[in-house]
Chains A and B, each alone.
Chain A
Amino acid sequence: MEFLEAISSKFNYWIYVIIMMIGLYAMVAKNNLVKKLIGMSIFQTALILFYVSIGYKENATIPILHHDQVHGAHHEEAGHDEDTDAHHDVEHAIEATAEEIHADAQNHAEEAGHEISHSDHGSLEINPNDFINPLPHVLMLTAIVVGVATLGVGLAITQKLYGEFGTIEESEIIQQIRDDK
């Protein structure tokens, strides 16, 4: 039973390691250059999958604040402050037509109990345990785009090699280089 629990909570990590090793094996052992590049891409995406899964939390939502939470806090600010900024004029205009959204947000807040705080002036109470960690997502966005740039350069080199040697099998290219010497 303990073994089953150990498997089910860490089962995903094993699969990530298996996919990474498939990509690594393709990079080392395949003869065709395009297959090597496919292996490199598989390795990169498996690594990104591993990082993204670190930021996951159970029963948490996506790292984007919801419209109700955002405008719930703005309604409180517009209600309490007394200055007549253009910003607050717009808020007053929206407030008259969006009363039911506000009431809805309040109902949701009373149900949830901890997401919106109406007691202080415009400070939004966000519980960090309700949102998924955004930091790995940011790092992996950069990694994906750099991966596609590297793939493009690799494919360009492959085309150039084909123009030089007439083949994209690595063993034949090495054979031709040895024969030319």
Chain B
Amino acid sequence: MIWIFDIIILVFLVITSIIALQVKDLLSAAMIFGVYSFLMCLLWAGMGAVDVAFTEAAVGAGVSAVFMISTVLRTDRRSSD
């Protein structure tokens, strides 16, 4: 496990999770959640959990983000906080 990549990806994880919760546009929040999911997948692949990384890549970025975007487009797109 390469230490430099580990630290960089962890720092990016914290940054994207804070940003996903702070933007006012819910479509952007769903997209950034997809990025968070992809970074998790990279981290697990680096740790040797290849099955878990495969599942998270398929489920997190492929299916979970699509569900959120379809809900956001069917309800309000702006949020007040």
Contact = CB atoms under 8 A, between A and B. Distances in A.
Per the CB under 8 Å rule, do A and B touch in the complex? Answer: yes
A34 interface: yes
A55 B80 contact: no
Interface in A31-49: 31-32, 34-35, 37-39, 41-42, 45, 48-49
Contacts, number: 124
Nearest to B23: A35
Contacts of B13: 15, 19
B interface SS class: helix
Nearest to A172: B80
A41 B33 CA distance: 9
Interface size class of B (residues with CB under 8 A): 35 or more
A151 B64 contact: yes
A162 to B, nearest CB: 4
Contact of A34 (B7, B47, B52, B79): B79
A123 to B, nearest CB: 26
Interface stretch (A65-73, A78-86, A140-148): A140-148
A109 interface: no
Interface size class of A (residues with CB under 8 A): 35 or more
B40 interface: yes
8 contacts: A32-B81, A34-B29, A34-B30, A38-B20, A39-B21, A42-B33, A144-B60, A168-B79
